[in-house]
Amino acid sequence: MPTGTALRDAREQLFDAAERVLLRDGSSALTSRAVTTEAGCAKGVLHRHFADFDAFLADLVLDRIARIDSRAAALRDAAGTRTVADNLAQVLPEVFGPVGVAIVALVTSRDGLRLRLRELRGAGIPIMAEATDMIAAYLVAERELGRLAADIDVDTLAPMLVGAGHLLFADRHGAPPSAEAVRRVVTAVIRP
């Protein structure tokens, strides 16, 4: 195991390595040794940048949540363009791609990680909660533009879309659903 290998951006390299292990072997195989072996660095590198492995995992999840947060602005800006169903059908595969689904599985399988994340960001399952907020904000924008009924219940509709989207993509070993399958689900959920 190389101990003197310089890492340009150790955090990002470790996060990328963790994603590869998570996608290839699942959350039960995600250990500090597996991550550092995958990154090609000494185990001490991880502990030099993070207090412990749960802190590393929490930062990994928070980093991936930040990607959803940046996507939220783009979705809100899409309000009034294309159709509501098209915009939502485009964003669900981005949120629930292989990494998103794997992160949800990771959080639900590790009590310590879930508790740490709850302390850092509040209740809710990471990725799912951010996706719900993102979709709710988009639906509000579309409602304000008159493209959705004024009495539409955004607080119910957004988690329904997220739950349905997660179920479509949850099989990490099968083929992802087709664009048409995603669009059918979105259309069924948002139909007035």
Q: What is the mean pLDDT of residues 72-89?
A: 95
- Per the document, the length of the chain is 192
Is residue 79 domain-shared with residue 140, that is, in the same domain?
Answer: yes
Domain residues for the domain of 22 are 1-49
Is 152:192 a contact under the CB 8 Å cutoff?
A: yes
- 25 shares a domain with 117: no
Say whether both 37 and 112 belong to one domain. Answer: no
pLDDT tens figures, 134-153: 999 999 999 999 999 999 99
Do 40 and 124 share a structural domain? no
Same domain, 108 and 134: yes
Name 45's Cβ contacts closer than 8 Å, sequence gap at least 6. Answer: 7, 10, 14, 36, 39
Number of domains in the chain: 2
Alpha carbon distance 133, 97 (integer Å): 18
Between CA 28 and CA 172 the distance in angstroms is 14
For the stretch 15-42, pLDDT in tens is 999 999 999 999 999 999 999 999 999 9
Q: Are 41 and 66 members of one domain?
A: no
The 3-state DSSP class for residue 172 equals coil
At 192, the pLDDT band (50, 70, 90 cuts) reads low
Same domain, 93 and 176: yes
Residue 2, pLDDT score: 47
Q: What pLDDT shows up at residue 173?
A: 72
Q: What is the pLDDT of residue 59?
A: 95
* Same domain flag for 125 and 33: no
